[in-house]
Structure 1
Amino acid sequence: MNKAIKYIRKASPAHMVGDGFKVKPYISRDMWKDVSPFLMLDYVEPWNLMPTDHPRGVDVHPHKGFETVSILWEGALAHEDSSGGKGKLFAGDVQWMTAGSGILHKEFHEEEFSKKGGVLHSAQLWVNLPAQYKNVSPAYQDIHANEIPEVVLNDGKAKVRVLAGALNGVASKAKTFTRINIYDVYAQSHADFSLTVPEGDNTSILVLNGTIHINDHEIARAGDILVFETSGDTVTIQTNNDTHLLLLSGEPIDEPIAAYGPFVMNTQKEIMDAINDYNAGKFGVLN
């Protein structure tokens, strides 16, 4: 059965994160119940950057109680955190960082990319953790483009990169704490295909490029995020032109959320504990 669209939204106004990321936020707090376990989707539209000897980005800052997922389509980024995680992302790569019990990290444009300049095109997700996992040890996963499996649909007119979860029996190597599917979808004009997700999961689609028909009658355009009802397990898509979509689907986490800045817990007391632990230096050291 097709999943019906619950509502369609646009991004909030763009703003700068540090000096390196001009983001359009697509998930607001009033959407959390409908898109859980996802808490944030910050999208960096293709952005042409001039060469510089000063790598742009975001300096050392803390996180606790959730995971960050960075998706890079163009450009190059560098990451380092207090758990020892360190790596570079290039076009097509994905990075998954579990903040868990508390972590410090920083993310900048990669040095050579900064010196040469070029186009940056990326997104970052925040993925909530259930209460039982909010204090797991921090961890870091780099998933390179050549490690991301692909599913071909509609006789080659559509291609899905499975960034997390599984599609049609093809599974991502990303390790997650709850059931999550993230599909990076590319389709030619006049493609006609379906994507299946588990019944009862929250599902949303961000239209990054193109115009699509959903379930034969609803129209969505670039810049729209579609939030679906939980009933049903199929989304049918027809494209009018070359299209790029990001589908997010996951098992809802039915727990209270207390959030303050970079901390996402279940109660205000836990938020205060997180602040105190950070101030006491319990998230490690990162220069």
Structure 2
Amino acid sequence: MKKKTSFSTKGQRADIGDLTIYRMLANRYADAVGPFVFLDHIIPKVHPSVMNSGTGAHPHRGIATLSYILEGEDEHFDSAGNYAKVYSGGIQWMKAGNGILHDETLNVDSTTGTNRTHAFQFWINLPSKNKAEKPEYLAIQSHEVPQKELPDDSGWIKVIVGDYEELHSSIPNYSEQFLYHIHLEPGKNFTISMDEKVEVAAFLPTKHTLLNDVEFQAGEFVEFDRNAGEIAVENNLQEASDVLLFGGEPYTEPIVAEGPFVMNSKAEIADAYRDFYAGKYGEINPQKRSVSI
């Protein structure tokens, strides 16, 4: 049986510097999909020159941030001393835990010479017991992302978070969670089964696509019901299309989000701000950045 659509929506503009951004989650219908509480889509854009704006270092607590870079070069600094660059197809993952400062900058990919950027940033809510843990960090290059071809030359699937068949992401799971990038060739389809009570949403970044026989437009965020069933993705275009599919088990603890912090109570939010202003998150050696996300 095919899963039914609960709702679909388009995002709100939330631009930063030279980047055009649509905030897809949270939205007017949902605060979370499984452990995912935030999704920004940095839409595909051609830049005439090196970008030169940004918000600088900022704190996080209680979540893990995940940046998936389809096109571009993403540079990460944090107050735990971590530093790395990932390039087109790569992932930056940071568990903020009990508090950290980071500065993450997106620019054009210096390894390819292209002047396009296209990326996503997710926030993954941590269970309360993990919110008190020390920060952690992973930089994952494109060739390290688990990927497999789909049957009948239909395309491929990448496992950004979680597991799919024999593929396993290196990003830690603190609850049941998954984030898949599905790439379908023209005229092809792919079907995936979801268990009972799993929360799941799809996002169509650049092309319209059929989901369970219903056509949705580029830029749409689509959430499905929690009944066990299938999601059939079909590309009826003359060019390849992409879908992000993500979610997991419901987050059953209270969710209180304010600014860069996601905790379980207002008192914990107050503690997060108090510790930040007291300098307990450390500091980053100040440098000028290109564009922070």
What's the TM-score, normalizing by structure 2?
0.90
Q: For residue 214 of structure 2, what is the amino acid of its counterpart?
A: E
Structure 1 window deviating more from structure 2 (195-204 vs 137-146): it is: 195-204
Query: Partner residue of 1:286?
Result: 284
The answer on whether the counterparts of 1:57 and 1:107 sit within 8 Å (CA) in structure 2 is no
Give the equivalent residue in structure 2 for 1:270: 268
Residue 125 (structure 2) aligns with: 128
Structure 1 residue 55: Cα displacement: 4.2
Superposed CA offset, 1:3-56 (max 9, x none)? 2111111111x2223x2532100112544455131111100111111223x644
User: Do the aligned partners of 1:154 and 1:191 also contact (CA within 8 Å) in 2?
Assistant: no
Contact residue 32 and residue 38 of structure 2 kept, 8 A: no
Report the AA paired with residue 108 of structure 1: T
2:99 is equivalent to residue 102 of structure 1: yes
- 1:68: how far off? 0.6
Task: Return the offset for 1:172.
Answer: 1.5
2: distance between equivalents of 1:59 and 1:231? 43
| Residue 233 of structure 1: how far off its partner (Å) | 3.9
Number of aligned residue pairs: give it: 282
Structure-1 separation of matches of 2:236 and 2:277: 53
Distance 1:57 1:88, change over 3 A: farther
Q: Residue 252 of structure 1 corresponds to which residue in structure 2? A: 250
CA distance in 2: counterparts of 1:2 and 1:151, whole angstroms:
24
Aligned partner of 2:46 in structure 1 is 48
In structure 2, C-alpha distance between the alignment counterparts of 1:262 and 1:268, rounded to whole Å: 14
Is the Cα–Cα contact under 8 Å of residues 64 and 262 in structure 1 kept in the other structure?
yes
Give the Cα separation in 2 of the matches to 1:20 and 1:251: 36
Root mean square deviation of aligned Cα: 2.0
Q: Which residue of 1 aligns with 2:290?
A: none
Q: Secondary structure at the match of 2:11?
A: coil
Q: CA deviation at 1:79?
A: 0.7
Q: Establish whether residue 203 from structure 1 lines up as the match of residue 200 from structure 2.
A: yes
Which position in structure 1 is the counterpart of 2:233? 237
Looking at structure 2, the residues matched to 184 and 219 of structure 1 have their Cα atoms a distance apart, in angstroms, of 19
1:58 and 1:107 in contact (8 A); partners too: no
Q: CA deviation at 1:117?
A: 7.2
TM-score normalised per structure 1: 0.92
Task: Check the 8 A contact 1:55/1:109 in 2, yes or no.
Answer: no
CA distance 1:185–1:117, change in 2 (3 Å): closer
Structure ranking higher in helix proportion: 1
Deviations 1:53-111 (A, max 9, x none): x6444311101111110000111121100112211020000111101100001012359
- From 6, 21, 24, the equivalent of 1:23 is 21
- Following the alignment from structure 1 to structure 2, what is the Cα–Cα distance between the partners of residues 164 and 111? 25
How far apart in 2 are the matches of 1:39 and 1:92? Answer: 22
Inter-partner Cα distance in structure 2 for 1:278 and 1:146: 36
Structure 2: distance between partners of 1:166 and 1:201: 14
Q: Distance in 2 between matches of 1:32 and 1:192?
A: 28
Partner of 1:228: 224
* Matched residue SS, 1:181: strand
Task: Establish whether residue 92 from structure 1 lines up as the match of residue 81 from structure 2.
Answer: no
- Report SS of the residue matched to 1:200: coil
Q: Distance in 2 between matches of 1:59 and 1:34?
A: 27
Note the 1:40-79 alignment, pairs <5 A. 40-52=38-50, 55-79=52-76
Match of 1:180 in 2: 177
Deviation readout 1:111-153 (Å, 9 max, x if unpaired): 9749x77111001001111111111111111111111111222
Greater strand content: 1
Amino acid at match of 1:46: P
More off after superposition, 142-151 vs 274-283: 142-151
Which stretches in structure 1 are left out of the alignment for 5+ residues? none
- Compared with structure 1, are the counterparts of its residues 45 and 212 closer, same or farther at alpha carbon in structure 2 (3 Å cutoff)? same
